[in-house]
Amino acid sequence: MTDEYDDEDLDLSTLPDDELVEQMFDDLYNGLRDEIVEGTNILLGRGWSASRVLDEALVEGMRIVGVDFRDGILFVPEVLMAANAMKGGMEILRPLLAETGAQRIGKIVIGTVKGDIHDIGKNLVSMMMEGAGFEVIDIGINNPVEAYLEALEEHKPDILGMSALLTTTMPYMKVVIDTLIEKGIRDDYIVMVGGAPLNEEFGKAIGADAYCRDAGVAVESAKALIQQRRAG
């Protein structure tokens, strides 16, 4: 129990930058939103740029969370709490990043397909993507092909992410990809798919660029695919 009291007595503003950032890693890991908000404000007050706070404190902290999630040390509820804490910091940084025109890694439009109202997995991917430095446009659940097309047209993302949790809604992903092909815009986007009933073979069969079994893999795949595309 002593740790708890130590943490409560800890005045974040007395910590030097490097120790404050380390403490923010711990606070993110433990899902402490108020502490992340406070730490973000302290660093900005010390003259850190918004993009430096994002990269060195929040993105790096979420990377640690992502690794432990991948390795089975952390589970979905803990990661959701960490992502919620990260969101607290992002709410402060987002307007500042927009002002400075800070370069994000890339942009993703993500949504669950028509007929499917599951969103925990999608939300987790959205949060982890934002935590990794992507701009995320989440179009929610139960999306017909028209909703995807509208979002692609409006936001011009690098990546289209589709999620399905039911075997009955999985085939709708192919409807979306086939429509992109018909319209001659399939190659404009990296298409990533995920959800419990999917697998690698299904992803290949419908013509997706990547199947992601979880949020950690989704982030790693997104970074790698964007890098490949820009290199090419």
| 126-162: pLDDT as tens digits | 988 988 889 999 999 999 999 999 999 999 999 999 9
Range of the domain at 166: 107-231
Same-domain pairing of 14 and 62: yes
> How many domains is the chain partitioned into structurally?
2
CA distance 89 to 72: 26
Instruction: Evaluate the CA torsion angle 202, 204, 208, 213 in order and state its sign.
Output: positive
Same-domain pairing of 96 and 179: no
pLDDT < 70 regions, the chain: 1-9, 102
CA distance 137 to 26: 28
Give the pLDDT score at 1.
37
Write out the two tokens for 23. 């403490």
CATH number of the domain residue 76 falls in: 1.10.1240.10
Give the pLDDT score at 2.
38
Same-domain pairing of 37 and 129: no
Give the pLDDT score at 165.
93
Give the pLDDT score at 5.
41
Give the pLDDT score at 133.
84
Give the pLDDT score at 7.
53
Same-domain pairing of 19 and 67: yes
Same-domain pairing of 189 and 152: yes
Give the pLDDT score at 3.
45
CA distance 50 to 42: 12
**What is the DSSP code string of 106-175?**
-EEEEEEBTT----HHHHHHHHHHHHTT-EEEE--SSB-HHHHHHHHHHH--SEEEEE--STTTTTHHHH
Q: What's this model's pTM, rounded to 2 decimal places?
A: 0.78
For the stretch 202-222, what's the b/e string if a residue is b when 16 or more beta carbons lie within 10 angstroms of its beta carbon? bbeebebbbbbbbbbbbbebb
Give the pLDDT score at 56.
93
Write out the two tokens for 173. 């992903």
Give the pLDDT score at 214.
86
